[in-house]
Amino acid sequence: MRLLYVLSVLACLLTEAVAQQKNAIAYSATGYVRDAKTGKPIQGVNIVVINVSKGYVTAKDGFYVVTMPAGNYVLKFTHVGYRPRYDTISLQKLLFREVFMEDDAKDLEEVVVTSETPDRNVRKVEIGVSQLSIRSIRRIPPLMGEVDVVRSLLLLPGVTTVGEGAPGFNVRGGSADQNLVLFDDAPVFNSSHLMGFFSVFNPDVVRDVTLNRGGVAAGYGGRASSVLDVKIKEPDAEKWSLNGGIGLISNRLGVEGPIIKKKLSFLAAARASFNDFLFKLAPANLRGTKANFYDLTTKIKFQPSEQHTITLTGYVSTDVFKLASDSLSGQEINASSTQFDYQTTNGVLRWNYFIGRQLNLATSVILSRYRANLSSPDSANAFDLRSGIWHRQIKTDLTYTPGDNHQWQAGLSAIDYLVQPNTRTPGPFSNVLPVDLAREQAYELAAYVQDEWKVNTAVSVLVGLRYSALLNRGPATVRTYLENGPREDETVSSTQTYEAGTVYHRSGGLEPRLSLRWSVGEGRSIKAGYSRLRQYIQQVTNTTAALPTSRWHLSDVYTKPQIADQWSLGYFRNTADNAIEASGEIYYKRIANAIDYRDGAELQLAEAVETQIVQGRGEAYGFEALLRKNKGRWTGFTAYTFARTFLTMDSPFPVERVNSGRAYPANYDKPHTLNALATYRPTAWFSLSLNFTYSTGRPITQPYARARINGVYVPIYVDRNQQRIPDYHRLDFSMTFEQNPLKKKRNQSSWVFSIYNVYARKNAYSIFYRLNPRSFSDAYKLSIFATAFPSLTYNFRF
């Protein structure tokens, strides 16, 4: 640490020397910004020199340098989750100042949902980026007491879901697999526990969540719609602590602390559900049901010096879901029960090398594995259907900050994919035939460069260029189809086999990214953005929401990469000392090679995916408005989104068309969404939140006619997604009782009481069509969470 002080002082002196040649009276104030309680350095603290409106940001290790002509200044330090701090300095020489910032938990004023620096939405360059701190996520009334990262995202403008309890989320007209979900840099291929009800991120270890839905920085790529970056907090390097909670669905336990003080620290947190007992109380036909999950997050941080930080993150998540029939299996095999289990295993080794105050190099080795398994136990028909993805990546990012006006970033990334589509293994006495679909293998390579350039005090641009490519490699067998027919098993004209390691197909291209901010006055700015994103890996499914066992597929000779171009424009306005924020954004997005499935597609065991899917055009546009109150006892926001998404699948061949080649709404097309959250915090130990959500129902396909065949009325469907389920709305409520943080106690605990769906609305989960002469209606509505759902959670920290 001393060495770094010396180095940085030297660096400062050097710059000063240089500066002094130009302007004899420039001096620097430097030092570290630390957490007042733990002493941990804080990265990304905004430092504003009030008198001259100049801004600085602390580096990864909390180090800052403020260079100004000699004089008296007031520095304002602000950061997510910390109380702003003002520091008056008299700059006559090089100044060392260590700044301690206090947690804002004691404050009554709280920024809800986006706990960024107060004016960040107006000042930052990127458009369409939302950040949530875990504290603001905790204020949102939880479902069954489970604080949920993905569920909280649904309150943000532009984020929707196809239904309550559906896995994944949809961002600005993108499908769920078009979101890159990163958990400390490692991609998560299935972000849901229990088939979609809860997300896989343990709230006890999450530091913050950033969703990039508009201007995705050039450092990110690989998915067409958005990037959800979930960061794990740094282990406490000062003291040991134990925390946990007991809830209706899951129980949590975590430990963290230093192994070697300030050098080596460790964090581990586990979460597990024990719900089987609930099914024991269930009707007999459900008693065989099992639904359990657990996840374990660990992080080790080693900081041999202030220059080097090495972290190792490990994450395991497992779900077991057993149904007492062959429903959902999609396999035409007789079974008395079906078990789904799926598992995510991630590991990230990251080395951050702080070369100097201008240069930082971050290198990571990332392993991510997702495995899904479907099995049936009956001896003669026993089988085990496995699928999985191996993602192995190495990437490095170099940041260069030559001065106040430029911040350059460049990086390289290489991913090695191995996709195992489906392998069916019979049990020892089973008659089921083995099936082993060919593995898909490819390298995804990317390089990018980006500059954040402060053109002048009013205009900043973030300009980036990324090049990405997918190299498919053998072993593989590639079919050739007759030219004058659709792609079907029957129209194969020849096949070509490639040896292991042979690169048999390449695709790739440039991905320009541009964001522009123009400050048009105090607290007002106009922003514009353009981005192109390429996606080479997709989940192919013919159901509205993907099952955990749905197949992943790499782009190849026939499946072209999905390319999304998005243009967005926004106006941002803060008033009353950033207490009130208002913004409006419009966007237009075009997706080339969007994927949908053919009518009657059978994807699970299809040898060639191209015979089951179709690719076409996607088009999405929308308007997002947000009004937020950040200060006072009452805080909250209202967000309204208008969004439309249409797909067009046309082809010369009728079987490769959807809805005869006409545009149709995507499964997740929900035109109107209104979300509102209000939090009342009269004292430091009590808070109350209300959350209201409204959205248009998702599209469904309704029968146009019935035919009587074999004594059964068979519904006749014509076009996909032409009708909608009824609109959705719901009110939630929660109360949190904490210990008075002003009374310093070592042990802290809190109680959270919440009610989901306060007015017990029977929202439609699905509509199904059955004719029953005894009934007056022709269809039925299934509602889940159709009653007010109370829950109680106890959290503790020692």
Partner 1 sequence: MRTRFTRPKRSGQLVSIWLFLLAGCVTEYQPETLSLPPGLVVEGQVTDQPGPYTVRLTRTGDYSNQGFNLLEQGATLTIEDNAGNRETLTEVAGGTYQTKANGLRGLAGRRYKLTILTKAGKRYESDAELLTSAPPILKAYAEYRNEAIAGTANRRQGWDVYIDTQDPETSGNFYRWDWVHYEPVSACARVVENPRTNAYHDLYCCTFCWDIERCYNCLNVNSDASINGKVLSRQLITRVPFTSTQPYYLEIEQQAISQGAYTFWKSVRGLVNNTGGLFDPAPAMVQGNIRNTADAAEPVFGYFGATGISVVPLRVNRSDVQGAPPAQPQLLFRSPPDPCFPCENSPYRTSVTPRWWVF
**Smallest separation (angstroms) from partner 1 to the CB of 146:** 13
**Smallest separation (angstroms) from partner 1 to the CB of 150:** 15
Token pair of 338 as six digits? 């079906």
**E-strand spans in 649-718?**
664-665, 672-683, 686-695, 699-700, 705-709, 712-716
**Minimum CB distance to partner 1 smaller for 61 or for 148:** 148
How far apart (Å, rounded) are the C-alpha atoms in residues 549 and 299? Answer: 29
**Smallest separation (angstroms) from partner 1 to the CB of 259:** 42
CB 227 within 8 A of CB 212: yes
**Smallest separation (angstroms) from partner 1 to the CB of 343:** 20
Measure the N-to-C terminal CA separation of the chain; round to a whole number of Å: 30
**Minimum CB distance to partner 1 smaller for 708 or for 746:** 708
Amino acid at 672: H
Strand partners, 465: 449, 512
Q: Give the count of beta carbons closer than 10 Å to the beta carbon of residue 281.
A: 8
How far apart (Å, rounded) are the C-alpha atoms in residues 306 and 308? Answer: 6
**Minimum CB distance to partner 1 smaller for 282 or for 455:** 282
Strand partners, 672: 642
**Minimum CB distance to partner 1 smaller for 789 or for 794:** 789
**Smallest separation (angstroms) from partner 1 to the CB of 243:** 28
**Minimum CB distance to partner 1 smaller for 284 or for 500:** 284
**Smallest separation (angstroms) from partner 1 to the CB of 339:** 12
**Minimum CB distance to partner 1 smaller for 495 or for 787:** 787
CB 721 within 8 A of CB 669: yes
How far apart (Å, rounded) are the C-alpha atoms in residues 601 and 542? Answer: 7
**Smallest separation (angstroms) from partner 1 to the CB of 602:** 9
H or E element at residue 476 = strand 476-481
**Residue entry with tokens 């002469």:** 773
**Minimum CB distance to partner 1 smaller for 428 or for 600:** 600
**Number of residues that make up the chain:** 798
**Minimum CB distance to partner 1 smaller for 534 or for 553:** 553
**Smallest separation (angstroms) from partner 1 to the CB of 729:** 16
Going by C-beta distance under 8 Å and a sequence separation of 6 or more, which residues neighbour residue 531? 214, 215, 216, 511, 512, 513, 514, 564, 565, 566
**Smallest separation (angstroms) from partner 1 to the CB of 514:** 37
**Smallest separation (angstroms) from partner 1 to the CB of 253:** 24
Amino acid at 783: S
- Report the candidate in 258, 102, 252 with the shortest Cα–Cα distance to residue 744: 102
DSSP 320: E
- Report the candidate in 430, 338, 331 with the shortest Cα–Cα distance to residue 379: 430
**Smallest separation (angstroms) from partner 1 to the CB of 715:** 5
- Report the candidate in 597, 595, 573 with the shortest Cα–Cα distance to residue 585: 573
State whether residue 510 is helix, strand or coil.
strand
Token pair of 21 as six digits? 């040649």
**Minimum CB distance to partner 1 smaller for 433 or for 742:** 433
**E-strand spans in 240-285?**
241-246, 250-260, 264-273
- Report the candidate in 588, 587, 569 with the shortest Cα–Cα distance to residue 528: 569
**Smallest separation (angstroms) from partner 1 to the CB of 227:** 24
**Minimum CB distance to partner 1 smaller for 503 or for 718:** 718
**Smallest separation (angstroms) from partner 1 to the CB of 341:** 16
**Minimum CB distance to partner 1 smaller for 224 or for 606:** 606
**Smallest separation (angstroms) from partner 1 to the CB of 774:** 9
Exposure on the CB side of residue 653, measured as CA atoms within 13 A: 15
**Minimum CB distance to partner 1 smaller for 175 or for 313:** 175
CB 60 within 8 A of CB 124: no
**Minimum CB distance to partner 1 smaller for 260 or for 705:** 705
- Report the candidate in 756, 765, 761 with the shortest Cα–Cα distance to residue 145: 756
**Smallest separation (angstroms) from partner 1 to the CB of 438:** 18
**E-strand spans in 324-458?**
338-354, 359-376, 383-400, 406-426, 435-436, 440-454
How far apart (Å, rounded) are the C-alpha atoms in residues 341 and 626? Answer: 40
Could you tell me whether strands 26-35 and 63-69 are parallel, antiparallel, or unpaired per DSSP bridges? antiparallel
**Smallest separation (angstroms) from partner 1 to the CB of 330:** 9
Token pair of 604 as six digits? 């699970």
How far apart (Å, rounded) are the C-alpha atoms in residues 246 and 263? Answer: 32
State whether residue 104 is helix, strand or coil.
helix
**Minimum CB distance to partner 1 smaller for 327 or for 496:** 327
CB 141 within 8 A of CB 753: no
**Minimum CB distance to partner 1 smaller for 251 or for 749:** 251
**Smallest separation (angstroms) from partner 1 to the CB of 755:** 13
**Minimum CB distance to partner 1 smaller for 244 or for 616:** 616
Token pair of 621 as six digits? 């546009």
Q: What are phi and psi of 123, to 5 degrees?
A: -90, -35
Q: Give the count of beta carbons closer than 10 Å to the beta carbon of residue 176.
A: 26
- Report the candidate in 315, 355, 64 with the shortest Cα–Cα distance to residue 182: 315
How far apart (Å, rounded) are the C-alpha atoms in residues 168 and 160? Answer: 9
**Minimum CB distance to partner 1 smaller for 360 or for 430:** 430
Amino acid at 522: E
CB 283 within 8 A of CB 320: no
**Minimum CB distance to partner 1 smaller for 240 or for 704:** 704
